[in-house]
Chain A
Amino acid sequence: MRHILSLLMENESGALSRVSGLFSARGFNIESLTVAPTEDPTVSRMTLVTSGSDEIVEQITKHLNKLVDVIKVVDLHESVHIERELMLIKISAEGDSREEIKRLVDIFRGRIIDVTDSSYIVEMTGDGDKLDAFIRTLDVKKILEVVRTGVSGIARGEKAIKA
């Protein structure tokens, strides 16, 4: 099963490699991983999407907690949560398809943020499924580049994950 783990960690050089090294050394899966500093510049927040049986995800959580740089690990799947991903996609847009692509972007509530005679760059946020669905509506041959950030997640409600 897919799990989204939220980590708070010391914003130290090498902290990211400790996490990625742990996953490769122990054969755990990483689907996506994003990390950036928080409002406290000494703390980074990482969202890590992984998959595995409950036993494996429990081991992943325990091993992450064991890393000395990791302050806190929360499995967002244990509560109601919101997940978002940002995608930047460069699409070949010429002739008739220019209008069609613009309509699709509107339907998916994306934005066109760069235009040339022959291309658009579209910015779109949503959960992974929505971004996948948008990609599926396009002709594969028209897709020039896809850049996705991977999932960021946060639990609903006033409770916060703090260092």
Chain B
Amino acid sequence: MSKTKEKIRGAEIFVRALKDEGVEYVFGYPGGAVLHIYDALFKQDDVTHILVRHEQGATHAADGYARSTGKPGVVLVTSGPGATNAVTGIATAHLDSIPLVVFTGQVATALIGNDAFQEVDAIGITRPCVKHNFLVKDVRDLAITIKKAFYIATTGRPGPVVVDIPKDVTADSCIYEYPKTVEMRSYRPVVKGHSGQIKKAVNVILGAKRPMLYTGGGVILGEASEELIELTRMLGYPITNTLMGLGAYPGTDRQFIGMLGMHGTYEANMAMHQCDVLVAIGARFDDRVTGDLEKFCPYATIIHIDVDPSSISKNVPVDIPIVGDVKHVLKDMNRYIKESDEKPDAGALADWWRQIQEWQGINCLRYDRKSTIIKPQYVIEKIYELTKGKAYITSDVGQHQMWAAQFYKFDQPRHWINSGGLGTMGFGLPAAMGVKLAHPDETVFCVSGEASLVMCIQELSTCKQYGLPIKIAILNNRYMGMVRQWQEFFYDRRYSHSYMEALPDFVKLAESFGHTGIRVEKTADVEGAIKQALAMDDKLVLLDFITDQTENVYPMVAAGKGHHEMHLSPERELA
């Protein structure tokens, strides 16, 4: 336990607690209610503060840091607009279960409820989009509350925790004590899975004729990649990952049959539809994954491993639920499989793989490689090749996000950083800042669209201040591509407000912030431009790829359709 002999001010307690918690970076923006804290930050070197240009950027940057490291991201913003600007980033982290601790300044306790200057009910506003939140009314509660906030954010199913600190609490003094651990009678996350349930699941898994492993972000959050790889290789079964789960199993492995869901591969979706045993691991049966629930996995016995009991049977009734930390459960499961006398049915499995290979033969991700107009898929493939599949890729939301997920084969967890649940445009650039700070020697590519990028474009200034040599690839089709795609398919090509008129000159924009911009207009120039960007390893380089405006993301399971009812492309409709 860390303790002071003397009374110190709340603002100093705050900084000491972050230090004791091992926090490297705080992403924030000052304001009236947090000035005591900023003064305390000024007087120390243990915790590095990164000044963003908008509070949304702070939350996304902390989020990118958390996703790429597994450590909690920390944010500090002022009261009122500081807090409300942070809400989008808090909700983004909440939907993807990312551990964040967000400190919001608050007006002095005596003023709370008086509609004071820069006052909002931050606890009320954030309550539906946090794992938990706290208002600290007494300086003597500050340290223990910070401890609890980190504990809650990082354990069980992780998530964002908001701590609202009134200004007078940061001025008041008390003895500082920071406990090593904290116990809460009302919060005890489950770790071990029920052994009877795991054994029951193992029997069903080993008896499967057409098995399918479907894994999500929970495997990444639970650091269970190694156990998942062991399980999958031992069984020889096909595996698919959700958008949030990419990288948990190597994307280049032969047992990996691609992402599933709305823009998943033909083979992954067909295998979901036809399988007789589905093992869902750290995945939550999101509507973008399942399609029409009535048509979801009609022949399957469903096993579901999840740390959050409320995820089980929420959307899809589960036959064998296992509540527990994915890593622990998979360890037990692997042991029981090894100890079992039963082995997977080799004959049935061979037939199943033959069927899957037939589906793979359709080559659902095919696109026109001879096009002289730049195809967005080609850009992602080239980024993949030239970064040798080892880069951290952040993305925004829309077509470019789907192409990045389809064409960049992630072999490692925590390298694919995107807002899957909330679908927050503007996430990619600030998230990339957090990733780059955490991994200064690695290549960090932000794959974005010209519409998404401008939603947090101000962070180019933060990148300049801290010298963050991120590479940005805009797949610039002069449309909000995914909106345009839906309007083409479902609204008779009425492109209502999806055309980006009056776009900036992105090259000059990058230059005005002190960075380098390169416009690329021909397929033949794509490779050279990426190489050039990678060679400038101390510069942020923005690559503005002028891509085919009409390209759509395929395959596609339209909302309300089943996995077996995919569009492949306009030329290649399936029966």
List A residues at the B interface (Cβ < 8 Å): 9-10, 13-14, 17-18, 21, 25, 55, 58-59, 62-63, 65-66, 68-71, 163
B contact residues, total (Cβ < 8 Å): 19
Return chain A residues, CB-CB under 8 Å to B317. Answer: 55
CB of B309 within 8 A of CB of A62, answer: yes
CB of B310 within 8 A of CB of A66, answer: yes
CB of B186 within 8 A of CB of A18, answer: no
A21 partner, pick from B128, B152, B312, beta carbons under 8 A: B128
Return chain B residues, CB-CB under 8 Å to A58. Answer: 313
**4 A-B pairs with the lowest CB-CB distances in the bound complex, closest first:** A62-B310, A68-B132, A71-B186, A62-B309
A68 partner, pick from B186, B309, B312, beta carbons under 8 A: B186
B314 partner, pick from A59, A65, A163, beta carbons under 8 A: A59
CB of B123 within 8 A of CB of A14, answer: yes
Return chain A residues, CB-CB under 8 Å to B313. Answer: 55, 58-59
Is B71 on the interface with A (CB-CB < 8 A)? no
Q: Please report which residues of chain B, range 291-316, place their CB below 8 angstroms from some CB of chain A when the two chains form the complex.
A: 308-310, 312-314
A163 partner, pick from B185, B308, B309, beta carbons under 8 A: B185
What's the Cα separation between A62 and B318 when bound, in Å? Answer: 15
CB distance from A23 to the nearest CB of B (A): 11
Give the nearest-CB partner of B161 in chain A. A68
Give the nearest-CB partner of A70 in chain B. B186
What's the Cα separation between A70 and B132 when bound, in Å? Answer: 12
What's the Cα separation between A69 and B131 when bound, in Å? Answer: 11
Return chain B residues, CB-CB under 8 Å to A68. Answer: 131-132, 152, 184, 186-187
Return chain B residues, CB-CB under 8 Å to A69. Answer: 132, 186
List B residues at the A interface (Cβ < 8 Å): 123-124, 127-128, 131-132, 135, 152, 184-187, 308-310, 312-314, 317
What's the Cα separation between A34 and B58 when bound, in Å? Answer: 40
CB of B309 within 8 A of CB of A65, answer: yes
Give the nearest-CB partner of B148 in chain A. A68
CB distance from B314 to the nearest CB of A (A): 6
Give the nearest-CB partner of B132 in chain A. A68
- Jot down 10 A-B pairs with beta carbons below 8 A, ordered by A: A14-B123, A59-B310, A62-B310, A63-B310, A66-B308, A68-B186, A68-B187, A69-B132, A69-B186, A70-B186
What's the Cα separation between A68 and B124 when bound, in Å? Answer: 16
Binding site secondary structure of chain A = helix
Other contacts beyond A17-B127, A59-B310, A66-B310: 17, CB < 8 A:
A9-B186, A13-B135, A14-B123, A14-B127, A14-B135, A21-B127, A21-B128, A25-B128, A55-B317, A58-B313, A62-B309, A65-B309, A66-B308, A68-B131, A70-B186, A71-B186, A163-B185
Return chain A residues, CB-CB under 8 Å to B127. Answer: 14, 17-18, 21
What's the Cα separation between A14 and B550 when bound, in Å? Answer: 51
Give the nearest-CB partner of A18 in chain B. B127
Return chain A residues, CB-CB under 8 Å to B135. Answer: 13-14
Return chain A residues, CB-CB under 8 Å to B124. Answer: 17
Give the nearest-CB partner of A22 in chain B. B128
What's the Cα separation between A55 and B313 when bound, in Å? Answer: 8
Return chain A residues, CB-CB under 8 Å to B123. Answer: 14
What's the Cα separation between A66 and B311 when bound, in Å? Answer: 11
CB distance from A8 to the nearest CB of B (A): 8
Give the nearest-CB partner of B309 in chain A. A62
Give the nearest-CB partner of A69 in chain B. B186
CB of B314 within 8 A of CB of A10, answer: no
Return chain A residues, CB-CB under 8 Å to B185. Answer: 71, 163
Give the nearest-CB partner of A24 in chain B. B128
What's the Cα separation between A71 and B187 when bound, in Å? Answer: 7
What's the Cα separation between A71 and B124 when bound, in Å? Answer: 21
What's the Cα separation between A83 and B195 when bound, in Å? Answer: 38
Return chain B residues, CB-CB under 8 Å to A17. Answer: 124, 127
CB distance from A152 to the nearest CB of B (A): 21
CB distance from A53 to the nearest CB of B (A): 12
Give the nearest-CB partner of B133 in chain A. A14
What's the Cα separation between A21 and B127 when bound, in Å? Answer: 8
Return chain B residues, CB-CB under 8 Å to A71. Answer: 185-186
What's the Cα separation between A121 and B131 when bound, in Å? Answer: 45
Return chain B residues, CB-CB under 8 Å to A55. Answer: 313, 317
Return chain B residues, CB-CB under 8 Å to A163. Answer: 185
CB distance from A86 to the nearest CB of B (A): 28
Give the nearest-CB partner of A63 in chain B. B310
Return chain B residues, CB-CB under 8 Å to A62. Answer: 309-310, 312
Return chain B residues, CB-CB under 8 Å to A9. Answer: 186
Return chain B residues, CB-CB under 8 Å to A59. Answer: 310, 313-314
What's the Cα separation between A158 and B124 when bound, in Å? Answer: 39
Return chain B residues, CB-CB under 8 Å to A25. Answer: 128
CB distance from B123 to the nearest CB of A (A): 6
CB distance from A33 to the nearest CB of B (A): 17
CB distance from B414 to the nearest CB of A (A): 25
What's the Cα separation between A55 and B314 when bound, in Å? Answer: 8
Give the nearest-CB partner of A13 in chain B. B135
What's the Cα separation between A69 and B187 when bound, in Å? Answer: 8
Best-buried of B131, B185, B308, B317 by chain A (most CB within 10 Å)? B185
Return chain A residues, CB-CB under 8 Å to B184. Answer: 68
What's the Cα separation between A103 and B246 when bound, in Å? Answer: 73
What's the Cα separation between A163 and B184 when bound, in Å? Answer: 11
Give the nearest-CB partner of B131 in chain A. A68
